[in-house]
Structure 1
């Protein structure tokens, strides 16, 4: 639970002091959580965060606020686990649907991948290779899932194994796909992180996989950090949540990633609000099925994500068409998925 105090009406100065105290206590807090605690709108909170940033007291991030110097420093696991929690849950639900029985996958370190691992525990015959103690812990009691840990040196801030030992243990490995998270994602540089050792291991994980699936909530879209882990042209699919209607930059980044050839799947209760112009919403008949949008003629074709796709796959339209369909995943009957068809490579 994010450290904070529920309050009634407060003046701007008091409200901003509360916001500052929450960010200092947690390292990173979403705008949604800040608005809930100080009992005001996200628009007002965003204005407060801008004012505090102008004073050098905190840094803005898409969908949240962090302590100053967030570009060069990395929040620890306790701070990250409180940021965009609902979005991470929806992303993990959808990402798990791309994994079939009997597959072998690699799962990197991160709070979103930890959520994914909890869902992968229900996939029989799965083999998961990971450098994350949190991922391994989430799968520890899954009788039908085999967990393979890399070697390496423990990095306490995110409970991950890093260094030459981790990288060497991945040599010669080949799996169907890698699921990775990171600190930021842009169309220009791809996935990045603020730690050099973590970036190096993530690159080794990518080398072991035929496909790369990035899990990143909307707060990471448009954020660029120090060390590149996965270039955009290597990313097969991005699984994310729907950016808020006011977050034009995140929506623009999503379209730019689609233009680069990345298949984008958007999941969560908020999918559909603030969607890019031209999106085609799924009808009721499609709400119980996942649809993968194939690339248009002349574009890069990735390997299919999951075998035995349901019949009736949506076909690509004219260049620039964006296709959207709805999905019900287990108990997440209201979840939705948006697939943006890439325009060109």
Structure 2
């Protein structure tokens, strides 16, 4: 297949689906991911699409919603790491709400092991993941089924959440910026997510780094309402994601970053100390090590002393069920 034919096919796939992973593009056009990445870069230079880490999306800041089949194959390793870490925030006997999404579905699979848990959700996928958990009670909202993401939406879903109060809400979305917070591309889904937020004392956003800096049409969780963001470590070349994380931290959001530790990788020096943030109480403190984000520097005094870095400090550490092999960093606001 000639380059022009490949690029035309790539463009057609992105236009049809809104977002496509490099792996899927390479499979369809029957070439390597390296070649596809070069084609995507050329199409981006022509303004025909936008690159994202691991894939390509429609051009423009306000992207359309991606269908569930495409979402389920994008950033799968990152979503798994995020779900592993977020599950460590949930304690026995808690009552929580969990929104719709592929990342929250991964979280639900891990919550099946938490005894005495009550989960309120509008997601059929979340409910299905917990259906056989004997010690977990699942409460479904009412509403109209939205087949593209297997979620219940509409006035029935919103009314069923009135008067509800739980400890935490776990939500995902299509985009996340420091300016607008979490957003999604569908008005009905956004409205239900806002109702879920109103029911919770704390709001935990689950978003992989590909969503950082992406803005979509309907705001669901304003930045000043977010308690914590659980995300993965962006690649070093992704300056936008690193900048967005620091901006969120500067606005008081506790940011917990999970990343798989490469074999033989050196750990960051020194355990970090706890720092306050919105809704920071409740987790048990444990020794953790900080990981610098892209574009950030450690402030180490002359002589290489062992003082703590001023830009990155850990929020209260997570419980012991956090997965072995993940490195965790909590990003705190810069000292001014």
TM-score over 0.5 for the pair: yes
Question: 5+ unaligned residues in a row in structure 2: which ranges?
Answer: 291-306
Residue 207 (structure 1) aligned with residue 198 (structure 2): yes
Residue 229 (structure 1) aligned with residue 205 (structure 2): no
Higher mean displacement: 189-198 or 327-336: 327-336
> 1:120-269 maps to which residues of 2 (within 5 A)?
120-269=111-260
* Aligned equivalents of 2:233, 2:204: Cα separation in 1: 17
8 Å CA contact 1:271–1:337 kept in 2: the answer is no
* Deviation digits for residues 264-308 of structure 1 (CA, Å, limit 9, x no counterpart): 111121689xxxxxxx8266xx7xxxx88322xxxx5424254xx
Aligned-residue offset at 1:21? 6.2
Q: Match of 2:329, SS?
A: strand
1:39 aligns to what? 32
1:6 aligns to what? none
Aligned residue pairs, count = 318
Residue 304 (structure 1) aligned with residue 281 (structure 2): yes
Residue 294 of structure 1: which of 275, 280, 287 is its match?
275
Higher mean displacement: 55-64 or 254-263: 55-64
Higher mean displacement: 316-325 or 194-203: 316-325
2:268 aligns to what? 281
* Aligned equivalents of 2:143, 2:185: Cα separation in 1: 19
> 1:63-74 maps to which residues of 2 (within 5 A)?
63-67=54-58, 71=62, 73-74=64-65
1:317–1:176 distance in 2 versus 1, CA, 3 Å: farther
* Deviation digits for residues 144-187 of structure 1 (CA, Å, limit 9, x no counterpart): 00000011111111011111111111111111100000000000
Aligned-residue offset at 1:64? 2.2
* Deviation digits for residues 98-118 of structure 1 (CA, Å, limit 9, x no counterpart): 101111100000000000000
1:139–1:344 distance in 2 versus 1, CA, 3 Å: farther
Q: Match of 1:71, SS?
A: coil
8 Å CA contact 2:314–2:331 kept in 1: the answer is yes
* Aligned equivalents of 1:313, 1:47: Cα separation in 2: 39
1:325–1:13 distance in 2 versus 1, CA, 3 Å: farther
- For the aligned residue pairs, the C-alpha RMSD in angstroms reads 3.6
Q: Match of 1:86, SS?
A: helix
Residue 79 (structure 1) aligned with residue 66 (structure 2): no
1:331–1:323 distance in 2 versus 1, CA, 3 Å: closer
Q: Match of 2:205, SS?
A: strand
* Aligned equivalents of 1:233, 1:268: Cα separation in 2: 26
Residue 51 (structure 1) aligned with residue 28 (structure 2): no
8 Å CA contact 1:211–1:303 kept in 2: the answer is no
8 Å CA contact 2:232–2:258 kept in 1: the answer is yes
Aligned-residue offset at 1:329? 7.2
1:3 aligns to what? none
Question: 5+ unaligned residues in a row in structure 1: which ranges?
Answer: 1-9, 273-279
* Deviation digits for residues 234-280 of structure 1 (CA, Å, limit 9, x no counterpart): 101000011011100111111111111111111121689xxxxxxx8
8 Å CA contact 2:104–2:206 kept in 1: the answer is yes
Q: Match of 2:193, SS?
A: helix
* Aligned equivalents of 1:229, 1:140: Cα separation in 2: 27
* Aligned equivalents of 2:137, 2:269: Cα separation in 1: 36
